[in-house]
Structures are given as C-alpha cells and as structure tokens.
Amino acid sequence: MARCFVTRELPGPALERLRAAHEVDLWEDSSPPPHEALLAGVAGAEGLLAMLTDSVDDELLAAPRLLAVSNYAVGTDNVDLAAATRRGIPIGNTPDVLTDATADLAVALMLAVARRIPEGERLVREGGWRTWTPTFMLGRDLHGARVGIVGPGRIGRAVARRLQGFGCAVDEAGRGDRGALHRVLAESDFVSLHLPLNAQTRGLIGEDELRRMRPTAFLINTARGPIVDQRALARALADGWIAGAALDVTDPEPLPAGDPLLEAPNLVVVPHVGSATHAAREAMAQRAVDNLLAGLAGEPMPSCVNPEVYGSG
C-alpha cells in the first residue's frame, strides 16, 4: 500500500477507490496548498494527485519516494515535464472527458458577449431597464457568423461541430501556422482560442494580433490566460480595436481587485468554469485516479503526457 497526497477534495466517488487501494493524505482546505505544504505532503509519498493550481516543479519532483503524478486537468503547464521525465516519473492528465463541457462554454461565451447577456441581466437587477425601444440592447448574431478556431484539437473541433447548428462558417489555424493565424484574425467575426500553454503560445495574442482583428469581432478564450497579453487586450477593448471579449481564463487566476482588465468595456469574465459540470468534473476525477492507480502499480497510465518514461519496451 502506497501513500498518496491529494491536494483537493474531488467530486464523486473516485477518491474512495483510491482510498480502498492506498493510504490517502488529503489537503482539506478549499484554497491551494502553499508550496511548502506541497513539499511536506509529498515528502513521504509515492503518489501525488495535483490540481492545475499546484506548481509541480523540479523541487517537488525530487521527493525521494515519488513514483507517479496525476494532474486533475487536461493541461500540464503547471508541471515541469522535462524534470519529471528525467526522473522517470509518469505524469497523467484528464483529456477527452471535459471536451464537451468546455466546448459548450465556449459557445455560451460567444452568445453572452455578442448578445450582451451579462449587461442586460445587470440592467434588470439594478433597475436600469425602463422601456423597450427598437434600438435597445442591440447585439450581434452568432448565426451565420465566421468563426476562427485557433488550435483545432479535441475542444476546438467540438466547438466547430456545435457551430454547424448556427450556420457558421468555421476557419482554423493550427499550432505554429502564423499565416493561418493572421488570416483567421483578419477574417473572423469570432476568434476562439483552444491552444495549450507553452513557450510558443505564451503571449501569442498581443497588440499586433488584436489590431489585425475586425473592429466588430469578438475574442473568446477558454484555453489558458497567458496566451493573451491582457494589457494589450484591455487597450483593444478600451480603444475599440475589437468589439468585445469573453474569457474563462485569465492571468493570474483570480484577477486581483483593481486589475485594469476588469475596467475594460464589452468584457465578459467567468471563473475558469469550462469543465464545471457534475458529469465532467466527476469523470475527470475518475480518470485522475485511474492514472494514479496505474502509475503506482508500475503500469502505463491510461492518459500519460510523457509516455517516454516507459521506454521502448
């Protein structure tokens, strides 16, 4: 029986499966454990089940008994993958099971910002809605729009499938295709980001890219906050380079009070809820536990982002 450090309570029954097989030390606070607590938690542990908010760095991976890490997320930008691979530690993630929930949210954000739904809801609650007129609260159509998908992976393709029902024309820009990115930015009514965060995508959408967009276009980000230069985005919204933006992710998370981005007009921000459905989060928990159980048994993880640790045999 191994010892596992789990950095947050998980939805559904998955954690009970882990407890049935191994000793579980659970961080019970809803806030992320400080890095010192992470180091202490893994000091005598063979397994780690971490969240995206936990920094799994080389110092953490040097824990003397650590054999396997399961990350409760699709992305692994919080993990030093090179260090893990060098140390022979497999890293698991949770792809596929949150694809549909995140794709649903991306489309919801398109509708929310284009049809000014948060603004209208506030008007009603605050008593600002006095009367109806033909020009009141005019928004823009998603139906028939041209939508650019930047990063057509699992989630990007799922968004494209949903947009077929809106009669949208969908264009794609793959990773590293700068020409396609510029075309998509210049020609799209909505630009939706679905890229992993890495050295190539950090700051990918900056001032130059935002200026390439139409003044009637909307930027949607359900990927990772640092992909967008938020200072440039705040200026783009304030100066009218683009019509609006809707973000599920920011840098940092949460945004501190007084952050300039929060003062920008025509902005919708939600608190990283792309996978926040009961079904998706419970499925993520099951996959994360499956990964950790396999890793501790010396078997290949069902979802491993550094399978080279298993060697050619």
Spans of all domains in the chain: 3-97+278-310, 99-269
Q: Give me the mean pLDDT over the 200-217 stretch.
A: 98
Smallest CA-to-CA distance from 29 within 9, 50, 52, 55 is with 9
Determine which helix (DSSP H) or strand (DSSP E) holds 171, and give its type and residue range.
strand 169-173
Residue 37, judged by CB atoms within 10 A of its CB (0-12, 13-18, 19+), counts as: middle
Residue 281 is a catalytic residue: no
Joined tokens for residue 278: 């009961």
Terminal Cα distance for the chain, rounded: 26
Q: Give me the mean pLDDT over the 186-192 stretch.
A: 98
What per-residue confidence (pLDDT) applies to 312? 59
- Cα–Cα dist 68/82, whole Å: 14
- Cα–Cα dist 306/165, whole Å: 37
What per-residue confidence (pLDDT) applies to 123? 96
Residue 272 is a catalytic residue: yes
pLDDT at 313 over 60: no
Residue 9 is a catalytic residue: no
Comparing 3-97+278-310 with 99-269, is the CATH topology the same?
Answer: yes
Per cent of the chain over pLDDT 90 is 98
Q: What is the mean pLDDT of the chain?
A: 97
Catalytic residue among 194, 272, 281, 287: 272
- CA 204 → CA 28, 182, 233, 313, distances in Å? 36, 11, 12, 38
Q: Give me the mean pLDDT over the 47-53 stretch.
A: 97
Q: Tell me how crowded residue 240 is: count the other CB atoms within 10 A of its CB.
A: 11
Q: Tell me how crowded residue 166 is: count the other CB atoms within 10 A of its CB.
A: 16
Smallest CA-to-CA distance from 51 within 82, 29, 19 is with 29
pTM surpassing 0.85? Answer: yes
Q: Give me the mean pLDDT over the 106-125 stretch.
A: 97
Joined tokens for residue 304: 């491993």
Determine which helix (DSSP H) or strand (DSSP E) holds 81, and give its type and residue range.
helix 81-86
- Cα–Cα dist 251/118, whole Å: 22
Catalytic residue among 194, 224, 281, 287: 224
Q: Indicate left, alpha or beta for 154 from its phi (over 0: left) and psi (-120 to 50: alpha).
A: alpha
Give 183's pLDDT tier (boundaries 50, 70, 90).
very high
What per-residue confidence (pLDDT) applies to 42? 98
Joined tokens for residue 55: 């920094």
- Taking each helix axis from N to C end, the angle separating 99-114 and 154-164, rounded to the nearest 10 degrees, works out to 50
Catalytic residue among 253, 263, 299, 308: 253
Residue 150 one-letter amino acid: V
Fold of 3-97+278-310: Rossmann fold (3.40.50)
pLDDT in tens, 133-155: 999 999 999 999 999 999 999 99
For 12-75, the DSSP string reads SSHHHHHHHHSEEEE--SSSPPPHHHHHHHHTT-SEEEEETTS-B-HHHHT-TT--EEEEESS-
What per-residue confidence (pLDDT) applies to 176? 81
Top pLDDT among 175 and 56 is at 56
Q: Give me the mean pLDDT over the 18-39 stretch.
A: 96
What per-residue confidence (pLDDT) applies to 311? 83
Choose the CATH number for 99-269 among 3.40.50.720, 3.40.50.1240, 3.40.1280.10, 3.30.460.10. Answer: 3.40.50.720
- Cα–Cα dist 57/43, whole Å: 14
Q: Give me the mean pLDDT over the 205-232 stretch.
A: 98
pLDDT at 199 over 60: yes
Q: Decide: 101 and 77 in contact? Cβ < 8 Å.
A: no
What per-residue confidence (pLDDT) applies to 41? 97
Q: Which residue has the tokens 């949460």?
A: 254
Give 23's pLDDT tier (boundaries 50, 70, 90).
very high
Give 12's pLDDT tier (boundaries 50, 70, 90).
very high
Please state the separation of Cα 231 from the chain's center in Å. 20
pLDDT at 175 over 90: no
